[in-house]
C-alpha cells in the first residue's frame, strides 16, 4: 500500500508540474499575441504595406502588385526614411539586398510627391522663382514611415 501511495504522489507531482508549465507557456503566448496587435491609426495618417529594398534606414519602394491593397499611391522608386524600434531596424538591416515588405504608418500628405513623374523613379519638380534666394526648404523633405513590422518578400533587389 505504501508503494502505491508513493507512485500516486509522484504522479500528482508530475501532473502539477505539467499544468504549471502549460499555464506559463499559454500566458507567454497570449502576451506575444497581444503585443502584435496594431495600434490605432491616427486621423492624419494611413497604414501601408510596401514591397521594396533597404539600404541603411532608407527604403526604396519596389513595383506594386495587385495582391497588395495597402500600398496606395506610393510610386516605384520612392524613397522613404524608416523609423522604428531598434530591434526591428536591426532585423531589417540584416536583410539588405533582399526584397522585404514593410508595414507602417505614414502621414497622408507624404503620399503625394511634388512634381511630375517621368518614370523610373524620376520626378521633375518646380524650382525657386527667378531672382528668389534659395531658402531652407530647397531640398525636398524626405517621406517618413514609422515601421510597425516587416516580412520577407519574393525576389532580390537590383544591384546598385
pLDDT digits (tens, 9 = 90+) for 63-120: 776 665 555 578 888 899 999 999 999 999 998 888 999 999 998 877 665 666 676 6
Spatial CA neighbour of 80 closest among 25, 27, 31, 146? 146
End-to-end CA, the chain: 79
Residue with cell 522604428: 84
- Kindly report the number of other CB atoms within 10 A of residue 145's CB atom: 21
**CATH architecture of the domain covering 45-126+139-156:** Beta Barrel (2.40)
Contacts of 114 (CB under 8 A, 6+ apart): 123, 125, 126, 140
- Do the beta carbons of residue 121 and residue 80 sit within 8 Å? no
pLDDT digits (tens, 9 = 90+) for 32-49: 444 456 678 888 888 988
Q: Residue 24 — pLDDT band, cuts 50, 70, 90? A: low
Amino acid at each position: 500500500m505504501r508503494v502505491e501511495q508513493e507512485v500516486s504522489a509522484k504522479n500528482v507531482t508530475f501532473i502539477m508540474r505539467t499544468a504549471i508549465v502549460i499555464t506559463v507557456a499559454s500566458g507567454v503566448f497570449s502576451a506575444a499575441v497581444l503585443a502584435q496587435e496594431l495600434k490605432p491609426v491616427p486621423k492624419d495618417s494611413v497604414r501601408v504595406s510596401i514591397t521594396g529594398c533597404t539600404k541603411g534606414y532608407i527604403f526604396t519602394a519596389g513595383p506594386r502588385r495587385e495582391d497588395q491593397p495597402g500600398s496606395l499611391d506610393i510610386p516605384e522608386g520612392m524613397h522613404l526614411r524608416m523609423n522604428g524600434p531598434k530591434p526591428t531596424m536591426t532585423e531589417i538591416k540584416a536583410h539588405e539586398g533582399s526584397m522585404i515588405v514593410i508595414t507602417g504608418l505614414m502621414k497622408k500628405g507624404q503620399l503625394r510627391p511634388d512634381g511630375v513623374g517621368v518614370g523610373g523613379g524620376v520626378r521633375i519638380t518646380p524650382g525657386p522663382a527667378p531672382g528668389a534666394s534659395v531658402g531652407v526648404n530647397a531640398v525636398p523633405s524626405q517621406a517618413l514611415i514609422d515601421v510597425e513590422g516587416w516580412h520577407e518578400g519574393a525576389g532580390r533587389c537590383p544591384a546598385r
